Chain A
Amino acid sequence: DVKVTQSSRYLVKRTGEKVFLECVQDMDHENMFWYRQDPGLGLRLIYFSYDVKMKEKGDIPEGYSVSREKKERFSLILESASTNQTSMYLCASSPGVGLNEKLFFGSGTQLSVL
């Protein structure tokens, strides 16, 4: 089974802190994604990556950056956390190029920014 592991289940940070969310997948997938989930808004794409060192903006990239130094690892960075970034963050991966319907998700990181 594909496993997508997010390093923290819950995080509490203060406004202005730099925050790192880590994600690792073990199936040699090309594509990795970061989403945030908010009630009633579904999942919104922040950033995605099709290859090592490659990144593309999703629908809501403002206030975030990403890093993909190794194929299996995709990090989401909040440069200066703000209260409106309190949310559930979901990492996902998918194999190959093209349609990305076979997304495999991690269990999520619930981030609270105080």
Chain B
Amino acid sequence: GQQLNQSPQSMFIQEGEDVSMNCTSSSIFNTWLWYKQEPGEGPVLLIALYKAGELTSNGRLTAQFGITRKDSFLNISASIPSDVGIYFCAGPLIKAAGNKLTFGGGTRVLVKP
């Protein structure tokens, strides 16, 4: 089953709004990653988090590594139309060979009509 659960599955944004999404797991992660996939493209790494409690920004995006190491949050401030896409959380499962990444199901961000 899915190791990383993302919420919400989809959301509508209005220009100027702040939006949040999260990612949770029953397993502990030592690294949390956030990727964005724009329509017709592959995912691109936005932010990497390496320490519990860490808060890291990339422009209008801010991500946090949860204290329990079982969750992470991504916030987009003052959203703009080009924020549309699918946002994935990911992390290397400690028990997985070669630290290969596990991805969440994604949060699809759409613009309100």
Contacts and interface: CB of A to CB of B under 8 A. Distances in A.
Contacts, number: 65
Contacts of A101: 31, 33, 45, 48, 90, 92, 101
Interface string B84-113: 000010101000011111011110000000
A58 B93 CA distance: 13
B2 A41 contact: yes
A42 B105 contact: yes
How many chain A residues sit at the interface, stated as a range, is: 20 to 34
A98 B97 CA distance: 10
Contacts of B99: 98-100
Interface of B: 2, 4, 6, 9, 31, 33, 35, 40-45, 48, 88, 90, 92, 97-101, 103-106
